[in-house]
Structure 1
């Protein structure tokens, strides 16, 4: 990523000069009580020229583990660059975070309204401000997410097959898995793709939960990226990944054939063979016990940890075809 001349950075009319640290307020909207809501954007700039990296989390208000990863980057001072600029936005959907909900108060999923509109819904207005005020400054973005509805994701990176130029950075990040997945309509990732902004989407853990393994994967991967770009200060060490990441071309969901009480017997990250028992579904009265089996061989990259499931619910996400 080429170096660029350090100039004054302007975000929401706030000027940040090279060598400065500043907390910029992302003014969204007041609460219904008229109380103001501050969404901090933490900007750290080196005096030396270099790229601008943006770390984002909390697009979904219930995805707390992503927020924790960016919080640690700030708390530990990892976001203070040796060169260039680092911008951190730990909680984009502050309303969902306050209300412990995935969506905005208007019921919309922020990740389905990009690039937004200055006169649209609340979620659309937030998306528009993010796209017009922050994204233009970024040379590279890492967006942190977690699994929803009790489904636990193994730490993984996601981007489309059209973005395979990101393979090198994905290997540097060092998550256990890389899943090629289609760009979804009106998502943050798709908008950044159309704007020519390279983005790695990190998935790990589940909603309303903080997992140390997932957090460490996100923080360590971020440090490796910053070191690769020459931005990590020498006071921090970027350890090498324990294993090479596994690139996934295709994956499948194993769904529940019955409603009932569910108990998985396999953990995320494990390699299974076709026919292996992955868990079982029972009823509260002891009348039946249905064993869930792997329909193909592959790695388990997501496990539903909800104790109650309904017919058709996604139980396991398993790799179907690996990149060779």
Structure 2
């Protein structure tokens, strides 16, 4: 992990020296009422030089559990490093967060707008400012997300394959699963990767839902990575993960063969065998009951919590190949 080339951090038009703390506003546009919207960027610099780590959440406005993880990192003082710099942006998509929706007011998904442009849509402008004024200053990013559309994700780190640095950092983070997945076009992760900035994408829980287990995993993972980088304040302890991390090379979704009322009979993190009954779909009249069976053995890494599903809906995300 590299160190800053200068003692002065220049970010969002301000110069911040070693040992300083600063809260800077990341502003792109006002509300239609003319009200200024402030997106706090919280910067803590140690007197000792070291890596610059960025914690982000809320790229999707409905992913509140990711926001809670970064909030706790700040509230507990984990973001005060013993060396180097920690930058926290708890809510990037403040417009979606205010409106309780995933997208920005222009209807665009911010995580499909990178690297963006200064003269594009609102999503494009937010993406451009983040990728040009903040990302180039940092050495590592941990970006917190949750599952959407009633899908509850097991705590997991998503990275591309064949990147030893990312493998080591993901293993250090200590989530139950590391899922190898390609960088999606125009995503934040893809834009950072193309610029040579290592990024760990954390997935856990579901939208508009708090889970203490997910929050604890996200916060503890951050502490482990900071300790690995010799940045964690000595007053904090970072425990080892309770279970060994499983690296998943391939996975697939089990989809509903019928429409109806759905109930899962297993949970995320469970290992199931081919042919196991893992849920059932019924009608509302007591005349139909379909047992959902596993097509293959593997770990359950996401479960659809929706009580009503339609034929073709994704029900379970299951591993099909794990790293030996």
2:184 equivalent to 1:188 = no
**For the Cα contact (< 8 Å) 2:3–2:52, is it kept in 1?**
no
Q: CA RMSD in A?
A: 0.9
- Which residue in 2 is equivalent to 1:208? 208
- What aligned pairs does 1:282-293 form with structure 2 within 5 A after superposition? 282-293=282-293
- What aligned pairs does 1:42-81 form with structure 2 within 5 A after superposition? 42-81=42-81
CA offset digits 1:279-301 (Å, max 9, x no partner):
10111111100111100000000
| Structure 1 portions without partners, runs of 5+ | none
Q: Matched residues in 2 for 1:16 and 1:141: separation?
A: 19
Q: Matched residues in 2 for 1:28 and 1:272: separation?
A: 47
Q: Matched residues in 2 for 1:165 and 1:80: separation?
A: 24
- Which residue in 1 is equivalent to 2:149? 149
**For the Cα contact (< 8 Å) 2:154–2:204, is it kept in 1?**
yes
| Structure 2 portions without partners, runs of 5+ | none
- Which residue in 1 is equivalent to 2:94? 94
Q: Matched residues in 2 for 1:49 and 1:8: separation?
A: 10
Q: Matched residues in 2 for 1:165 and 1:44: separation?
A: 25
Q: Matched residues in 1 for 2:216 and 2:137: separation?
A: 27
- Which residue in 2 is equivalent to 1:13? 13
- TM-score normalised to structure 2 length: 0.99
- Which residue in 2 is equivalent to 1:136? 136
**For the Cα contact (< 8 Å) 1:171–1:244, is it kept in 2?**
no
- Which residue in 2 is equivalent to 1:313? 313
Shift of 1:6: 4.7
Shift of 1:50: 0.2
2:159 equivalent to 1:166 = no
SS class of match (2:258): coil
2:238 equivalent to 1:238 = yes
Q: Matched residues in 1 for 2:3 and 2:99: separation?
A: 41
**For the Cα contact (< 8 Å) 1:6–1:84, is it kept in 2?**
no
Shift of 1:163: 2.9
Q: Matched residues in 1 for 2:15 and 2:68: separation?
A: 27
**For the Cα contact (< 8 Å) 2:2–2:139, is it kept in 1?**
no
SS class of match (1:161): coil
**For the Cα contact (< 8 Å) 2:189–2:201, is it kept in 1?**
yes
Q: Matched residues in 2 for 1:100 and 1:193: separation?
A: 29
Shift of 1:7: 1.7
CA offset digits 1:183-202 (Å, max 9, x no partner):
10000000001000000000
Q: Matched residues in 2 for 1:166 and 1:12: separation?
A: 27
SS class of match (2:36): coil
Q: Matched residues in 2 for 1:93 and 1:7: separation?
A: 30
**For the Cα contact (< 8 Å) 2:4–2:52, is it kept in 1?**
no
Q: Matched residues in 1 for 2:205 and 2:279: separation?
A: 19
**For the Cα contact (< 8 Å) 2:30–2:36, is it kept in 1?**
yes
Q: What stretches of structure 1 move > 2 A for 4+ residues in a row?
A: 2-6, 162-165
Q: Matched residues in 1 for 2:198 and 2:4: separation?
A: 17
**For the Cα contact (< 8 Å) 1:6–1:50, is it kept in 2?**
no
Number of equivalenced pairs: 324
Q: Matched residues in 1 for 2:79 and 2:6: separation?
A: 17
SS class of match (1:27): coil
Q: Matched residues in 2 for 1:171 and 1:163: separation?
A: 12
